[in-house]
């Protein structure tokens, strides 16, 4: 089952796709989100969000700064103030 | 009656003015499209942040709530944040925003409150300084950037939060122009500090949401960000409004120039004809006299 992952900055919607797993750098430690994760909200520290497109594939790294992550029924949403390359 | 040469020069000068207004109109039309797209792209972040805010604000209330949400407990000193553009040629765009801010300032003063201005952009400075010479505090400069973006919103809101925490004001209002269409822009006033809770009903999922660190900590981190988004949104709306107003104003100017050219051309042809007729009469009269 895929996880719906969205990465949003104030300027635009950076990502909106279905992936296998995302590892988010939370303030109190990294956490991985798979499909069906319980509702959860956390602030994030500056670091890389690791996106695993499929099981076992090499992760894609997206550097983010300042923001928070929200897991709900619709999947994972990362609201970041800055994304690398912006 | 102006001489032929004077009329000709006049027509030429109006024509070149028309070229400028026409060019500015087309530039504004292109920029408007871009500004609208930028405003569109900023919406997902703003709406998500607002829904999270709504969910958290309803949970954390009372004495635990951060000062940015609950206020200082007084509403004596008001800060009016007025967002204007740096350039003119946009009809009454800047004047409308300034007027809305001045009306509010006078109303607040009549109630016996203290008023201070925080000006973003160049065009609001002169008229506000004229009306309230002693109340203009900070003037935020945006002339260095082509379009105010998130970086500017960040700096403005950090400065505001700093001033708020230093106890320099109790309530902040933001004045900007909301973009309705290329023809209508609405000067809008919005309270930004204390942060009003978004009036969206929090989505009830039934499941208990876990917060990390705690709800209050998240809310505390969220509020300045929410403020930034509000200011960023206002700057984007303002930019789109400016381009819309500019397009409309320049369209009118181009049309007026066209009318003026037509009128002057008729006048030019008439006086040329009059001169020819006079010359003919002189020749005929001279021939008859022989």
**pLDDT, tens digit (0-9, with 9 covering 90-100), for B247-290:** 999 999 999 999 999 999 999 999 999 999 999 999 999 999 88
Optimal mutation site among A16, A32, A41, interface B, most CBs of chain B within 10 A: A41
Chain centroid offset of residue B128 CA? 15
Q: Are B125 and B119 in contact (CB under 8 A)?
A: yes
Q: How high is the pLDDT of residue B11?
A: 95
Q: Residue A83: which H helix or E strand, with range? A: strand A75-83
Domain ranges for chain B: 42-246
Chain B partners within 8 Å of A40 (Cβ) = 209-212
* pLDDT beneath 70, residues of chain A: 85-86
The Cα B252–Cα B259 span in angstroms is 11
CB-based contact B132:B82 (threshold 8 Å): no
Quick one: chain A helix, strand, coil %, rounded to 5? 0, 65, 35
pLDDT score of B62: 61
**pLDDT at position B54:** 79
In this structure, what CATH number is given to the domain that contains residue A30? 2.60.15.10
CB proximity under 8 Å: B 232-261 to A: 232
Closest CA to B109 of B83, B129, B135, B74: B135
Torsion of CA B83, B105, B138, B97, to 10 degrees: 20
* Model confidence band, residue B58 (pLDDT cutoffs 50, 70, 90): confident
Number of domains in chain A: 1
Contact B135, B116 (CB under 8 A): yes
- Rounded to the nearest 10 degrees, how much is the dihedral formed by the CA atoms of B196, A15, A45, B61? 20
- Looking at per-residue pLDDT, the higher value among B137 and B231 belongs to B231
Q: What digits encode the pLDDT tens for the residues B122-131?
A: 888 889 989 8
Instruction: Output the pLDDT for position B201.
Output: 63
Q: Hey, are the CB atoms on B212 and A8 less than 8 Å from each other?
A: no
Phi-psi category of B26—alpha, beta or left, where left has phi over 0 and alpha has psi -120 to 50? alpha
pLDDT at B245: 93
Contacting residues of A for B153, CB less than 8 Å apart: 10
The stretch B32-50 carries a mean pLDDT of 88
Contact A11 B209 (CB under 8 A): no
pLDDT score for B204: 57
Residue B27 banded pLDDT, cuts 50, 70, 90? very high
Under the banding of pLDDT at 50, 70 and 90, the label for residue B181 is confident
Would you state the pLDDT for residue B203? Answer: 57
**pLDDT score of B202:** 57
3-class state of residue B211 by DSSP: strand
Nearest to B27 by CA among B268, B216, B246: B246
Q: What is the pLDDT of residue B241?
A: 92
The per-residue pLDDT of chain B, averaged, comes to: 87
Percentage of chain B with pLDDT > 90?
A: 42
Question: Which CATH superfamily hosts domain B42-246?
Answer: ATP synthase, F1 complex, gamma subunit (3.40.1380.10)
What per-residue confidence (pLDDT) applies to B272? Answer: 94
B184-218 b/e with 16+ CB inside 10 Å = b?
Answer: ebebbebebbbbeebeeeeeeeeeebebbeebeeb
At B188-212, the pLDDT tens digits run 998 888 888 776 665 555 567 788 7
Are A83 and A62 spatial neighbours (Cβ–Cβ below 8 Å)?
yes
Whether A38 and B225 lie within 8 Å, measured CB to CB: no
A-chain CB neighbours of B45 within 8 Å are 8-11, 13, 79
For residue B108, what pLDDT is reported? 92
> Which neighbouring-strand residues pair with A30?
A25
Would you call B44 an interface residue with chain A, using a CB distance cutoff of 8 Å? Answer: yes
CA angle B230, A74, B39 (to 5 degrees): 30
DSSP classification of residue B145: S
pLDDT at B267: 94
CB contact under 8 A, A41 and B209: yes
How do residues B87-113 score in pLDDT, each as one tens digit? 888 888 999 999 999 999 999 999 988
User: Which residues in chain B (140-159) have CB-CB distances under 8 A to chain A?
Assistant: 149-150, 153-154
Give the residue-averaged pLDDT of B242-246: 92
Residues of chain A found within 8 Å of residue B38, distances taken between Cβ atoms: 11
Q: Which domain holds residue A32?
A: 3-83
């Amino acid at each position: 089952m895929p996880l719906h992952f969205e990465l949003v900055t104030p300027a635009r919607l950076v990502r909106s796709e279905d992936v296998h797993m995302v590892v988010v750098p939370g303030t109190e430690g990294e956490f991985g989100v798979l499909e069906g994760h319980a509702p959860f909200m956390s602030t994030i520290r500056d670091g890389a969000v690791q996106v695993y497109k499929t099981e076992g594939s090499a992760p894609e790294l997206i550097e983010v700064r300042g923001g928070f992550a929200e897991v709900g029924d619709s999947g994972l949403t990362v609201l970041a103030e800055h994304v690398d390359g912006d | 009656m102006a001489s032929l040469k004077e009329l000709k020069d006049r027509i030429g000068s109006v024509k070149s003015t028309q070229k400028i207004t026409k060019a500015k109109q087309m530039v504004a039309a292109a920029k408007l499209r871009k500004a609208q797209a930028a405003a569109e792209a900023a919406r997902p972040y703003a709406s998500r942040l607002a829904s999270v805010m709504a969910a958290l604000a309803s949970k954390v209330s009372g004495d635990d709530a951060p000062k940015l949400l609950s206020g200082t407990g007084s509403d004596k000193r008001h800060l009016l944040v007025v967002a204007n553009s740096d350039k003119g040629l946009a009809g009454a765009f800047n004047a409308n925003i300034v007027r809305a801010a001045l009306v509010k300032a006078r109303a607040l003063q009549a109630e016996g409150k203290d008023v201070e201005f925080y000006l973003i952009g160049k065009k609001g400075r002169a008229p506000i300084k004229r009306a309230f010479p002693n109340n203009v505090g900070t003037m935020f400069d945006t002339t260095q950037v082509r379009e105010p973006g998130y970086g500017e919103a960040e700096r403005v809101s950090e400065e505001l939060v700093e001033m708020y925490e230093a106890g320099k004001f109790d309530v902040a209002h933001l004045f900007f122009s909301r973009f309705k269409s290329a023809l209508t822009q609405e000067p809008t006033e919005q309270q930004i500090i204390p942060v009003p809770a978004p009036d969206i009903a929090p989505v009830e999922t039934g499941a208990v949401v876990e917060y990390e660190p705690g709800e209050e900590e998240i809310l505390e981190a969220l509020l300045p960000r929410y403020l930034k988004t509000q200011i960023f949104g206002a700057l984007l709306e303002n930019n789109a409004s400016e381009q819309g107003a500019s397009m409309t104003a320049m369209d009118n100017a181009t049309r007026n120039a066209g009318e003026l050219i037509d009128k002057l051309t008729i006048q030019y042809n008439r006086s040329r004809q009059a001169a020819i007729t006079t010359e003919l009469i002189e020749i005929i009269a001279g021939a008859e006299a022989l």
